[in-house]
Amino acid sequence: MRNKLNTIMTGLPEGMPVTSARLASAGVYPSLAARYVKSGWLKPLARGIYQRVGDALELYPTLRLLEAMAPGLHVGGKSALDWYGIRHYVYQRPILLLYGWNAFRLPAWFTERFPARYRRKRLFDETPEAMLGVTPYHDRADGPMVAGPERALLELLSEVGVHQPLEEARQLTESTYTLRHDEVTRLLVACRSVKTVRLALSLGREFGLPWVEKLDPTKLRVGSASRWVARSKEGLLVLRP
């Protein structure tokens, strides 16, 4: 009986939880799974999700499991920038920022091991099956989905005045000298948020970043000719077209 469980777990990426559906596909139905739990071989994490006793969950494969639960889920914003080495300072225990298409609550068994926050965000003209600028980390087939640095910057800027302090966003934007112009253009054209587009243009011009030089604002959603004004904890945020 234990050999059967070992065979199932061997087929999973190391450190990934196993679902009841995966167990059932290998002939381990609920009654047998309950016996594994009683025998101390499986530990239930939540209904229908187990961890093999003695194995430690690892972030990347566990994120792959969550991706199957939440359409469009990916590492984004400030966390994705950090993964690419674009950071303001090093956190002692960073909060992982995850984004997705629908409302979703991260399971407690995940956040207890990996401090994280999830945000539903529909920032671009796209579908959850074809997210713009989101690929497996380092292009590995088994890597978790992560926003490229260009998308991550726009996700960060979209949260200025809400979750994200402006000054930190300015300092991070100043470090995006090497962003790909074509990718920034593609994402800005598809961006639904006037605030995000204007803020990207404003900061890009302020720091003289190469990726902003060839942008054509007439092709972007910059809104009307009037100023965009919002109040935040840092005061008024005023953005011109």
pLDDT digits (tens, 9 = 90+) for 148-166: 999 999 999 999 988 888 8
Q: Do both 117 and 169 map to the same domain? A: yes
Which domain covers residue 44, as residue numbers? 2-52
The three-point CA angle 156-157-158 to 5° equals: 90
- SS3 (DSSP) at 97: strand
* pLDDT of 228: 52
Nearest to 107 by CA among 22, 168, 47: 47
Q: How many CB atoms lie within 10 A of CB 144?
A: 21
At residue 141, does pLDDT exceed 90?
no
The three-point CA angle 97-101-102 to 5° equals: 100
Q: Do both 196 and 224 map to the same domain? A: yes
Q: Do both 156 and 66 map to the same domain? A: yes
Tokens standing for 136?
Answer: 């497996």
What's the rounded Cα separation, in Å, for the pair 133 and 123?
12
Q: List helix spans (H) across 44-193.
A: 59-67, 77-83, 108-111, 149-158, 166-174, 181-190
Q: Do both 31 and 97 map to the same domain? A: no
Give percent above pLDDT 70 in the chain. 86
* pLDDT of 163: 85
Q: Do both 109 and 63 map to the same domain? A: yes
At residue 231, does pLDDT exceed 60?
no
pLDDT digits (tens, 9 = 90+) for 194-227: 989 999 999 999 999 999 988 988 899 886 555 5
Q: Do both 108 and 43 map to the same domain? A: no
pTM of the model: 0.90
For all residues of the chain together, what is the average pLDDT?
A: 88
Q: Do both 30 and 102 map to the same domain? A: no
* pLDDT of 80: 97
Nearest to 70 by CA among 107, 104, 19: 104
Q: How many domains does the chain have?
A: 2
Sequence letter at residue 225: A
At residue 19, does pLDDT exceed 80?
yes
At residue 97, does pLDDT exceed 60?
yes
Q: Do both 106 and 163 map to the same domain? A: yes
Q: Do both 71 and 38 map to the same domain? A: no
Q: Do both 65 and 48 map to the same domain? A: no
Nearest to 169 by CA among 179, 156, 180: 156
Q: Do both 74 and 193 map to the same domain? A: yes
At residue 91, does pLDDT exceed 60?
no
* pLDDT of 32: 85
**97 φ, ψ (degrees, to nearest 5):** -100, 120
Q: Do both 113 and 228 map to the same domain? A: yes
Most confident of the ranges 43-52, 69-78, 166-175? 69-78
Mean pLDDT for the stretch of residues 2-23: 78
**Residue 60's pLDDT band (boundaries 50, 70, 90)?**
very high
